[in-house]
Amino acid sequence: MFTGFIHHSAIGGDGLTVAVKDTIDVAGLPTRAGSRSLEDAPPSSRHAAVVQAMLDAGCRIVGKTGLHEFAFGMTGVNAWEGTPANPRFPALIPGGSSSGSAAVVAAGLADVALGTDTGGSIRLPAACCGIYGFKPTFGRVDRRGVLPAVTSLDCVGPFAASMDRLIAAMDTMDPSFSPAPAPNGPLVLGVPSVTADPAIAEAVVRAIAASGAVVRPVELPSLEDAFAAGLTVINAETWAACGALLATGKVGADVAARLEKARATTPDDVAAANAVRDRFTAEVDRALAAVDALVLPTLPGFPMTLAEALAGRIDLRASALVRPFNLSGHPALSIPLPAVDGRPVGLQLVGRKGEDEAVCAIGRRIAPLVANP
C-alpha cells in the first residue's frame, strides 16, 4: 500500500514532524511535481522559504509526499508515482491535488503536512481524508521555492488531524501569524445558498446548529461564475508553467489531455475571468462585513470511489465550492464532520482577507462541537 511518501528525510529539530508536498523545495531532494517528465530534475539547492521557516521554528521534516501530477487534478491519482491510499476511507479517492500530504496526516505518519491549494487542493483532500486543511489568504505565506513560480491563485497551507496542530503549523510557517483567542460572544455565521447533495447539506445544517452560532443568510450571486473563472485562470497559469513539458511525451494521459485543453485559453478568456474575480471578491467582502465567517460544505458531493478514478473518471465539479475562494483570495478552512453512511463530509469556513488567525480561532472554537471525533 502506498502511504503517500515518495522520499523519506530526517532534518530539523524535535518539534512538529512535517511532510512536504513535492511541489515545494527541500534542499538535497528533487522537486518533481508528481511527473515523470521531471524525473531527472536535480536536487534542490535550498529550502523553500516556508520549509526554512518551519525548520527555523524547530520542526522536523520527515519526507516529501506525492500528488496529482503538476498539482493539476482533483482525484489525487498518479499512475507514475502511485496513488496514496485514503487511510480513513480506503474505498474512496484521497482527493487532489495534495493527496499524499492528506494521506500521511490521516494515517498518523506526520503531525502536519504542507500542501498547496490552487483550486481546492488542500481543502478537498482534507475533506476526503477526514482531517483539517487550511488555505491561507492569498500571498500570506511565502511561496519562494514553490511550483509554479508565477500564480495568482496558489497558496501553501497545512493539513493536520486537529485544530491545535493546524494552528501550531501556521504559527511556524508564517512569521506574521499570531494565534488568536476564541472570539467572545455568540458567533455569527453567514450561510450562502449552494447546491450540494441533500445528505451533505443536512450534515452541515446539523453542524451549524451544534455550533450554537447565530445564522444569517448571505448572497453570493457570482459563485458559479467564479468556479468557471477559476478554471480559466488555472488553465492559463498551468499551461504557462507546465505546457512545454508535454513535448517530453512523459506527462500522464489525464493531465496531458487537460493541458491540451488549457492550451486554448486566450488572453480575452483570462481578462473575462479576472472581471469575474473582481465582482466575486466584492460579493464575498460584502457578505463578510456583517458576519464572523461564511459557512458552507467543502464538497458538494461525496468523493468518488478509487476504482472510478483509476478507471478514468474526472469530476472537476468536486471543486465547485472551494475553487471560487482561490479566485477571490480569501482564507478558507475545512473541518471534518461525522461521516454520513461511511462517507466523509467537510464543513468550510471562509473569512476576511488577512484575518487567517480569526478563521482558525473560529475553527478551534466550533471543532469540539461539530467535528468528527
The residue from 21, 64, 101, 319 that is catalytic is: 21
φ/ψ of residue 296, rounded to 5 = -160, 170
Separation CA 329–CA 164 (nearest Å): 24
The residue from 98, 99, 101, 121 that is catalytic is: 121
Decide: 170 and 134 in contact? Cβ < 8 Å: yes
Decide: 117 and 72 in contact? Cβ < 8 Å: no
Separation CA 290–CA 119 (nearest Å): 26
Is 121 an annotated catalytic residue? Answer: yes
Decide: 139 and 328 in contact? Cβ < 8 Å: no
Q: Do you find a cis peptide bond into 211, omega within 30 degrees of 0?
A: no
The residue from 9, 35, 97, 152 that is catalytic is: 97
Is 21 an annotated catalytic residue? Answer: yes
- CA 307, 310, 313, 319 torsion: positive or negative? positive
Q: CA 97: distance to chain centroid?
A: 8
Which residues, at least 6 apart from 160, have a Cβ–Cβ distance to it below 8 Å?
Answer: 105, 111, 112, 113, 131, 132, 166, 168, 169
Separation CA 125–CA 210 (nearest Å): 24
Q: Which residues participate in catalysis according to the annotation?
A: 21, 97, 121
